Amino acid sequence: MALRIIFMGTPEFSVATLEALVAAGHEVVAVYTQPPRPGGRRGLDLQKSPIHLAAERLGLPVLHPLNFRAQEDRVRFQAFGADVAVVVAYGLLLPEAILSGTRLGAYNGHASLLPRWRGAAPIQRAIMAGDAETGMMVMKMDKGLDTGPVALARTVPIGPDMTAGELHDRLSTVGAEAMVEAMSALEAGILETVPQAEEGVLYAAKIDKAETRIDFSRDAAHVHNHIRGLSPFPGAWFELEVNGKPERVKVLGATLADGEGRAGEVLDDALTIACGGGAVRLTRLQKAGGKPLDAADFLRGMPVVPTTVLR
C-alpha cells in the first residue's frame, strides 16, 4: 500500500524527488514550499518556487507558510494524516511539532556524505574543498542541523573539472532514486537507520558574496576549485580594466594548466592565468550583462593580451 506523504522542498534540486515519489505510486497529500518571492527583471513580480510550479503541474495542493510558529499551521499539517514527511532543500528548520507531525516522522534528502558538510551549501563546499567524492543521504530528521541518523547513502564521484551546477544535477537524480528506495523500505517496515559518526563533522556555510572574488595569489588547485565550486551561481569573478575602467567578469569554467608568472598574469592567448603556484586556463566566461561564452568567443569580443594582470 502506498504511503501518504507530505513533501517539503523549494528549489529545482527538489523537483526530481517529488516527481519520482509520485511516479512510484505514493500519495502526496500536500506540498509545502517557500512563499513566492519578488523576482522578474525589475524585482516587482512574485515568483513561485520550482517546487510550487511542479506541484501545480502534478495537480497537488500547495501550502507556503512563512514559518510554523502559528498554531493553525501546525494543526493543518497534522490534519493531513500523513504517514511521513519527505524534506529536500525546503529552506526552514522544522520545529518538533512538524518533525513528529506524521505517523513515521520526517526524512531528509541531503546532498553530502554526512557528517561532512552539514548545512546550507554542501555541494559548493565539497567542490571548493577539493573533495574527490560526495553523495546523497536519506536521514531521519531530528531537532539538530542535519544531525539525524542515516537510513541510506549513495556516493557520487566529483570529476576534476566538474562544476557545482553539474554536480547539482547529478545529485538531484541520485537523490530522487535514493528517496524512492528509502520510502519503499519504510512502507515495508524494513528501513533501518544508523547514527552519524561523531568524527569528521564539517559545516557548509551559505556562500557569502564577499568570498566570490578570485584570489589568484592562492595556488592553482585552490583557484580552480573556487571557480568550479561557484559555477554557475553565484559565479567566481575577477576585474579586467577596459577603457580605463574595471569591468567584472565571471568565470564559469576552468582547468588546471602549466605555467608560472605573477599572480593573475595572463600567460598566453588561451587565457592561461598564473596563480600563486601553477596556473589555470579559463574556459568559460561571462562579462557583466552578457551571456556565458567559451573562452575563444569571449576573447573575440574582449581581447585580453598576454602580460595583462587580472585583479
Q: What one-letter code names the amino acid at 45?
A: D
- Rounded Cα distance, 211 and 105, in Å: 37
- Rounded Cα distance, 261 and 268, in Å: 11
Contact assessment for residue 111 and residue 90, using Cβ atoms and an 8 Å cutoff: no
CA angle 225, 230, 234 (to 5 degrees): 160
Residue partners of 153: CB distance under 8 A and separation at least 6: 113, 135, 136, 137, 138, 178
Indicate the annotated binding residues: 112-115
Tell me the backbone φ, ψ of residue 244, rounded to 5 degrees. Answer: 80, 0
Strand partners, 266: 273
Indicate the annotated binding residues for (6S)-5,6,7,8-tetrahydrofolate: 112-115
